Structure 1
Amino acid sequence: MISISKPVWGLLTVIGFVLTVHLLAPILMPFLLAAVFAYMGDPIADRLEARGMARTTAVVTVFVALTIVTALLLLVTVPLLIEQVQLLIERIYDGIAWVQHTGLPALRQYFDLPEQKKPMEAAKDALSENWESAGGILFYLWGKVSGSSMAVLTWIANVTLVPVVTFYLLRDWDVLMAAIRNLLPRSIEARTVIIAKQCDDILGAFARGQLLVMLALAVVYTIGLWIVGLELALVLGLLAGLASIVPYLGVIVGISAAGLAAFFQFDSLWPMVGVAAVFGLGQALESMVLTPMLVGDKIGLHPVVVIFAILAGGQLFGFVGILLALPVAAVVKVMINHLHDYYKDSEFYDEKHSMAASDDVE
């Protein structure tokens, strides 16, 4: 019988896990979203349970509260977002008109270029033709997708599965964790629990803290742009807040989009200065108040590592990879820290042992 060492078994397990995620990626989305929601709601359910509430009652309370909050947010924001998107489309047309009647004539006059006959009309005609073609393709694809009863049923099943799986995972979260712990080999159970606890600290700090930071930044940006008088304050504030999951991306996207919107809406440069002040204030609050208070120093993931992890996850596994990128990066960081400690304690690193070995050779 062939004997396989423990490191080989570990490597085979990791390879098998990666292959499984890759093969099952199309159906994993509702389960991943449910696991994220359950992971975030478990501490709240634990606190309610510690106060004497039954586990099922605590889970139902948390589940109903999250559902009510989500429904209220959708009822408030969706109509406003629809209105803002319509306004955004109008502003895009205004921008095209400005380029045609003001921007291009000014450039021709500045660079002394020859007059051309209605270049924007030709561009708009070409865009309209391509848009009709693209719209026809999209309409054809939508007809194929909507005509397939299996595709529609799959989509409905995925949407329905998220709250159902979230409820059951949240109710049995502690039981699942205990079962996984009991399955571990006794020789590695203690160290694995320590590593898992460290990973949980990092993931919990990032997931809960970063979501709160994103929400706070979205509120700050929206209110600030509203004070400046920007008509697209809500949609641009939410966009900048969501983009803040990647370090500095929220500020770059937000100040670029809001600055462009202010340029076309106002005739003065002062609103653009106000936009810059809003995002400068938001960045200062994030770095000096929000991140230290809500996230703290537990994460330890460098911004470059965060960006690389998200891009690599998206490249390898699509949107599922983006969801798994930061948790995997946090786990890898913990593993590397333990490997570093193991290396520092090893005979290979020990200077005294190396000197003793060299003396024996002499």
Structure 2
Amino acid sequence: MDHLSPTPVGTLARRWQWLLIAVIAGWLIWLLAPVLTPFVLAALLGWLGDPLVDRLERSGRSRTIAVVLVFTLMLLLVVLALVILVPMIERQIVTLIESLPAYRDWFVQKALPWVEQRTGLELVTWLDPDKLTEWVRAHWQQAGGVAATMFGYFSRSGFAVMAWVANLVLLPILTFYFLRDWDTLVERIAALVPRDHIATVNRLALESNDVLGAFLRGQFLVMLALGAIYAIGLSVVGLKVGLLIGIIAGLISFVPYLGTATGIVLGVIAALVQSGGDWPLVAMVLGVFVAGQMLEGYVLTPRIVGDRIGLHPVAVIFSIMAGGQLFGFLGMLLALPVAAVANVLLRFAHERYKQSPLYAGDRPSILLDSYIDKGSIDQAQAREPEDK
């Protein structure tokens, strides 16, 4: 049977083959990123809804009926959120637009002079209308080139908007089919796994599914909770655009500390403009975010997300930034799933490393037999005459 065992050259060749497949897959994802975005988002929604579909199916309903029920529930939740949030956000945007002159005056009369006093830069003079007009006349040709560039950008943006509309239309259709055929897709992918690795792949897939499910579902609930806490808290303390700022801070809180930092900056600026520089409103805004962070750190994240996931905030931030840099919006969608799976693979590699000769060494571990068994040997020798 020795001729059936893989040689080192054969093992190395297979590893290079897998590496080549991974490189080609990454290149295709980068090339097809705009097209793949609705498919990836629909696959995530299908994966999130599949456990509920399976539960309904186990209760005696057919797969199609279970999928229709879960899909309808998803649509109702989206419609309910739009019906409740869109009018509120619309009123907040109107309030913000009406307050823009106050923000402009605060920026020109207070913020910029404060920066000038501490940096020595002359910033206010650049906002003089006469100076701006003179600068435009002096750079008219360049401005024409910039205008042409901007026109081309907006033309491309129009096509981008059309693509987004098409993606929004495709998203519910793709989600329905992923919900209906999710188990079939998993079975077909599992059938492609080499049989001598099926046990390891099955174990890693189950661990990745548990980690990813706990993180995404838990983080989504934490986002909703933080958005509600910030929006209600800022509105209660009297901030006019508190609802809008709270929703923004909650939505981007999936990036650790980014939601809180963004909310604090926006909230403090809005409080300074609204109160005319008085600090009580600013202090109350800061208190809302401090209370939200304490609730997240001591109540929401431990109870909803849990500590067994093992995704460090630095790893989350890096994965989102790297995914966005490499693959754009698609990369940001894939960042957290890839980070969760990579975390499981790293734990498995660490386990294999601790069991390998590279860690334990080639020599057997030293057993101190001479010290451990010396007393028992002496006792056995002393009992020999008695036994005779």
Q: Distance in 2 between matches of 1:343 and 1:276?
A: 47
> Equivalent of 1:69, from 62, 77, 84?
77
Deviation (angstroms), 1:73: 1.2
**Contact 2:324–2:330 (CA<8 Å) still a contact in 1?**
yes
Deviation (angstroms), 1:354: 6.5
Q: Which runs of 5+ in 2 are unaligned?
A: 1-8, 367-388
Deviates more, 1:7-16 or 1:302-311: 7-16
- Inter-CA distance 347–121: structure 2 relative to 1 (3 Å threshold): same
**Contact 1:81–1:234 (CA<8 Å) still a contact in 2?**
yes
1:287 maps to which residue? 297
2:200 maps to which residue? 191
Q: Distance in 1 between matches of 2:221 and 2:56?
A: 21
**Contact 2:112–2:123 (CA<8 Å) still a contact in 1?**
no
Q: What amino acid sits opposite 1:283 in the alignment?
A: Q
Matched ranges for 1:1-362 at <5 A:
5-101=13-109, 120-122=127-129, 125=132, 141-143=153-155, 146=158, 154-267=163-276, 268-351=278-361, 353=363
1:359 maps to which residue? none
Q: What amino acid sits opposite 1:222 in the alignment?
A: A
Deviation (angstroms), 1:3: 5.7
Query: When the two structures are aligned, how many residues end up with a matched partner?
Result: 348
TM-score, normalised to structure 1's length?
A: 0.86
- Inter-CA distance 126–334: structure 2 relative to 1 (3 Å threshold): farther
1:41-75 CA distance string (max 9 Å, x none): 11111121121121111111111111111112112
Deviation (angstroms), 1:100: 4.0
Query: Based on CA coordinates, which of the two structures has the bigger radius of gyration?
Result: 2
**Contact 1:306–1:326 (CA<8 Å) still a contact in 2?**
yes
**Contact 1:347–1:354 (CA<8 Å) still a contact in 2?**
no
The alignment's C-alpha RMSD in Å is 3.1
Q: Distance in 1 between matches of 2:124 and 2:20?
A: 67
Q: What amino acid sits opposite 1:79 in the alignment?
A: P
Q: Distance in 1 between matches of 2:262 and 2:30?
A: 31
Deviates more, 1:286-295 or 1:12-21: 12-21
**% identical equivalent positions:** 43
Deviation (angstroms), 1:11: 1.7
TM-score, normalised to structure 2's length?
A: 0.80
Q: Distance in 1 between matches of 2:332 and 2:170?
A: 20
- Inter-CA distance 125–9: structure 2 relative to 1 (3 Å threshold): same
Aligned residue for 1:349, secondary structure, equals helix
**Contact 1:34–1:163 (CA<8 Å) still a contact in 2?**
yes
Deviates more, 1:71-80 or 1:91-100: 91-100
2:378 maps to which residue? none
Deviates more, 1:49-58 or 1:90-99: 90-99
Q: Distance in 2 between matches of 1:329 and 1:54?
A: 35
Q: What amino acid sits opposite 1:64 in the alignment?
A: T
**Contact 2:230–2:289 (CA<8 Å) still a contact in 1?**
yes
Q: Distance in 2 between matches of 1:25 and 1:291?
A: 32
Q: Distance in 2 between matches of 1:221 and 1:200?
A: 31
Q: What amino acid sits opposite 1:20 in the alignment?
A: L
Q: Which runs of 5+ in 1 are unaligned?
A: 357-362
Q: Distance in 2 between matches of 1:204 and 1:116?
A: 50
Deviation (angstroms), 1:145: 6.1
- Inter-CA distance 73–138: structure 2 relative to 1 (3 Å threshold): farther
